[in-house]
Amino acid sequence: MAQRAAPTFVSLCIQHSSLALVYYDYTLTFASEVKYVWQRKIKFMTILYVFCRYSLVANVIYAVAITSPLDKLRYYENYAEEEIAVMQHIGSPRCSVSYVESRTYAVFGGSKLVLLIFGLAGTLVTVLATTTRLRNALSISTVGYQVLCAIFTTFRSIQALIANGDWRTQKHSLMFFIFQQGILYFIFATTFATASLILDYRTYIGSPRLMTARFVLHVRQWEEKHLNTSNYSDPQHSPVWFNNRQDENIFIRAATPEMPDLGEDPVERATRTSRVSII
């Protein structure tokens, strides 16, 4: 079998630093994970979250493969690289899609055009990860994919913020939160992907999955904090007068339905909320 070049000191430092980062982040978010993921019913989101945490295992396997003196483990390094790359995008239009794809699809109200665009993009990245031998093809396609996700999600978030009125009054709203977290995810993940492309090293930091897992936990935390305490529960802010508390609770559930697992079209939600406030 062909001998692989020994890993450089820089790549080893980055790989072991990524291990420390991933496990340190996991210790910080473990309590939230138990509360917002494992204490709830198993849904499609739960499966995606597990794949987001795949880097906890993948980074260890890859680090052992590149540092092991055993030729057999070094031989399987090629396969480890391919498997880790595939798990970055766990689906295609024919099966499950990644959380980022699903989230973008949801906020556009289930648009078939958005599904087609991101389905093709996700499939392209997966194919490049498993079949191509072109140098840096995976890094380039991943950066392009993340830029595309950021553009679509940011555009829809801005539309929703405009539809809801003054931005200054929406700093604690879900769409402002999604807009903020989306920008942070894009900057964080794209920076590492671009750095790996420029420095020309192979290492797996797991930052996209780390940021996605954090985003899922933050959204569920926001949901528990804000969605269960609607302004309509305060009689002083309610545009409708109710004869009893039961009627008011029914109105609250109709006006602010439970957030779907992947979210919903924010512009449509803003329109529905404005209609309810006119009643």
With bands split at pLDDT 50, 70 and 90, how would you rate the model's confidence at 101? low
Half-sphere exposure of 209 (CA within 13 A, CB side): 27
pLDDT cut 90: percent of the chain above it = 1
Given a contact cutoff of 8 angstroms between Cβ atoms, the answer to whether 245 and 88 are in contact is no
- Could you tell me if residue 2 is inside a domain? no
pLDDT cut 70: percent of the chain above it = 48
Question: Higher model confidence: residue 49 or residue 246?
Answer: 49
Q: What is the pLDDT of residues 226-277, one digit of tens each?
A: 665 544 444 444 444 444 444 444 434 433 444 455 555 555 665 555 544 4
With bands split at pLDDT 50, 70 and 90, how would you rate the model's confidence at 95? very low
How high is the mean pLDDT of the chain? 66
Mean pLDDT for the stretch of residues 95-120? 69
Question: How high is the pLDDT of residue 184?
Answer: 77
- Could you tell me if residue 209 is inside a domain? yes
- Could you tell me if residue 78 is inside a domain? yes
Given a contact cutoff of 8 angstroms between Cβ atoms, the answer to whether 213 and 169 are in contact is no
- Could you tell me if residue 243 is inside a domain? yes
- Could you tell me if residue 22 is inside a domain? yes
When divided into structural domains, the chain yields a total of 1
With bands split at pLDDT 50, 70 and 90, how would you rate the model's confidence at 211? confident
- Tokens 């409708």, residue? 240
Residues 6 or more apart in contact with residue 243 via CB below 8 angstroms: none
- Could you tell me if residue 24 is inside a domain? yes
Domain limits for position 226:
9-278
With bands split at pLDDT 50, 70 and 90, how would you rate the model's confidence at 89? very low
- Could you tell me if residue 1 is inside a domain? no
- Could you tell me if residue 3 is inside a domain? no
Q: What is the pLDDT of residues 111-141, one digit of tens each?
A: 778 878 877 877 777 676 666 566 566 667 7
Q: Write the CA distances from 198 to 51, 136, 195, 225, integer angstroms.
A: 27, 10, 5, 42
| pLDDT over threshold 70, residue 56 | yes
d(CA 182, CA 127): 26
Regarding pTM above 0.75, the answer is no
